Amino acid sequence: MFNTGQWRKLSHYLPKRKIPEEVITFIERTTSPLCIACSGGSDSLALLLLTKLFWPKRTVVLLHYNHRIRAVSDKEERQMIDLARQLDVKIEVGHRPIMSETHSSSKAIIAETPPLYSEYSTTASKPTPLGGRESTTDRTLKTDPSEFLPSEHNASYPQNPLHPQTTRIVPQRPEAHSPTSDINLKHFTDTAVAPANQPLPFLPHPSLLKSDGSLSKLPSEANLRTLRYAFFEKMLRLHCSDILLLGHHTDDRLETVLMRLVRGVGLEGLVAPRALHKVSFYTKVRPLLNFSKNELRNALSNCGVSFFEDATNDEDDCLRNRIRHTLIPAFDKVFPKHWRNGFKRSCQLLSEQRNDLKQRLEKNFRYWDFSKKTFERADLRILSTVELRYFFQTWFQQYQIHNLSTQTVDIILATLRTNRPTALSLDPNHRLCFSETTVAIITQPLKPSSHAIAVVWRGGTLFLPNGARLSFKEEPCSPERYKEVTSGAFSHNEIAVLDAEAFTFPCTVRFWRNGDRYRPLGAKNEVKVKDLFSARKTPTDRRHQLPVICSANGDIAWIPELPPSDAFKLTPQTKQCVFLFYQTNKILYGGENGGERNTQST
């Protein structure tokens, strides 16, 4: 709970002058609604309140996405709707789709938690309006969530709720309130009482509990991010807005840069997240990049504003959290007191250099037609490495191919320097095909055939015609890993673990053809693949959809749903192993690698 007059003092602790100048200029030169992604945490809540203070005449739309991961997420949703009413802003609420498995059927059954406010739940109690008084002007717009879904799903909704439902709350302008009116935002955590100086334990959302009470596998951060941004983009279109405000702060930037330094990035990666970032039809705006997490939290506390705590942020199950809890505190001990100021200065200098380089590259390529699907190899080989990276990035953007990693581009550049024809998988809809003289983007869907789909390099990912994907990961083979693999911990339907010394790259992926044979794991002699399919009663059409993975020497190493080849099995002497993951469309809801979007090319 906080007093109206108190929260307006937030600008005293978080002054407008610290917001990046380009952000202020951008916002004040535009007129479209300001859509704010707000979870209710300290950073996004501070962003919402500051936006109301600094740009009071602008239309604000609060976007809240309920991931349905924590037990309190539904309560937090109700509180955000309550807050939106009291601040007199529109709010849009999206929900993660829920999938549950039943023992009675091999097919997935979709279970959707009813939205808090929609035409499907008209009896839900409404939040208390400003000042604790019931307002006769408050109303809920009962809209059909299907209007926010692609047209092919409209006819079957809600019987087929595979997409996030959206709750729309559009408050009427309330009557005038005195400066002492209270705004209620209860501080929900995952426990009613938490021991001092100890992380809050994680309590799962009911949708994550199986019928036997066990916990389902949690969706990955990448999966949740994809769902969240899909919701944001739908709402931006709905409100005719091209501005998405995000609450990233200095600590977020520091964590991101450290993560990317380890992975290997250039200037473009080191200056992210940027204050202004044009994406597709809208711009991501980050006004809080010059404020630290502690500054935001202290400012809210000083103004009597409480905020949500996410218990999952206290766990070390992801790299960002480990950096936050282990690496950055170590920096605080090793480096001078104000080392963060040096970091911000470095980011500023890198950003200036990146902008200058980009201007020079744009000038050099101003006469290139990036709408073309084909370029001559000879024209590309005369370019420098920096120019080639810019060329491929700009070319791919023309075809909506985004987020390719630096490793992907390295593979492309290495392939360009050779003369051999090959094809690299960029995403489910695009391949980069090299002939002896040209490089072309192919947008036609892949079709099963007896020919090779592609040559796959170490660490690559291949998107297959049946909607599945095949990815490769190499790691040391410890005694524990060897024991785990040989004990049958991994299903041959989806995962194969091979000896990296025996299975070499580049490997070839093709489809099954008559006459294929190999020696399955544990077998003494070679067996026809056709006989293995017959023994498992694999349907004929499915046989022609499964990829056949061959090592660099052409020998079959594995076919999903069949045992891997005995020639590539792990031994006690194996030092490195290669994981092969075959993932079908269930990756959208979790599974191996958590449904994370892999941007590695093949």
pLDDT one-digit tens code per residue, 279-326: 889 999 999 999 999 999 999 999 988 888 776 677 777 788 888 889
User: Per-residue confidence at 394, pLDDT binned at 50, 70, 90?
Assistant: very high
Task: Express each pLDDT in 435-480 by its tens digit.
Answer: 889 999 988 655 555 455 666 766 667 777 676 888 888 889 999 9
Do the domain assignments include residue 589?
no
pLDDT in tens, 160-170: 222 334 444 44
Q: Is residue 138 part of a domain?
A: yes
Helix (H, G, I), strand (E, B) or coil at 348: helix
Instruction: Give helix 385-398 / helix 339-364 axis angle, nearest 10°.
Output: 80
What residues make up the domain containing 163? 2-247+287-315
DSSP string, 470-512: EEEEEEE--HHHHHHHHTT-S-TTTEEEEETTTS-SSEEEEE-
Residue 524 CA to residue 21 CA, distance in Å, equals 71
Q: What is the DSSP string of 188-252?
A: --SSSS--TTSPPPP-B-GGGB-TTSPBPPPPPHHHHHHHHHHHHHHHHHHTT--EEE----HHH
CB 539 within 8 Å of CB 512: no
- Specify if 228 maps to a domain: yes
Q: State residue 252 phi and psi, 5-degree precision.
A: -60, -45
- Considering 46-55, 104-113, 211-220, 437-446, the range whose residues carry the highest mean pLDDT is 46-55
CATH of the domain at 291: 3.40.50
Q: In this structure, what token pair is assigned to residue 320?
A: 């960002």
The residue that leads in pLDDT, 159 or 364, is 364
Is pTM beyond 0.85 here? Answer: no
Residue 185's pLDDT is 47
Domain membership of residue 309 (yes or no) is: yes
Backbone angles phi, psi at 131, to 5 degrees: 70, 5
Asked whether residue 230 is assigned to any structural domain, the reply reads: yes
CA 231 distance to own-chain centroid: 12
The pLDDT value recorded for residue 552 is: 85
Question: Is residue 154 domain-resident?
Answer: yes
- What integer is the mean pLDDT of 14-30? 95
Looking at the domain assignment, is residue 28 inside a domain?
A: yes
pLDDT surpasses 90 at 430:
no
Of residues 22 and 411, more confidence is placed in: 22
Q: Give the residue with greater pLDDT, 334 vs 308.
A: 334
Q: Could you tell me the pLDDT band of residue 357, with boundaries at 50, 70 and 90?
A: very high
Cβ contacts of 215 within 8 Å, gap of 6 or more: 204, 208, 209
CB distance 325 to 27 below 8 Å = no
- pLDDT (0 to 100) of residue 150: 32
Q: Please compute the mean of the pLDDT values over residues 1-16 and round it to a whole number.
A: 78
As for how many domains the chain has, the answer is 1
Query: Are 532 and 580 spatial neighbours (Cβ–Cβ below 8 Å)?
Result: no
Alpha-carbon gap, residue 524 to 422, rounded angstroms: 35
Q: Is residue 447 part of a domain?
A: no
Higher per-residue pLDDT: 264 or 53: 53
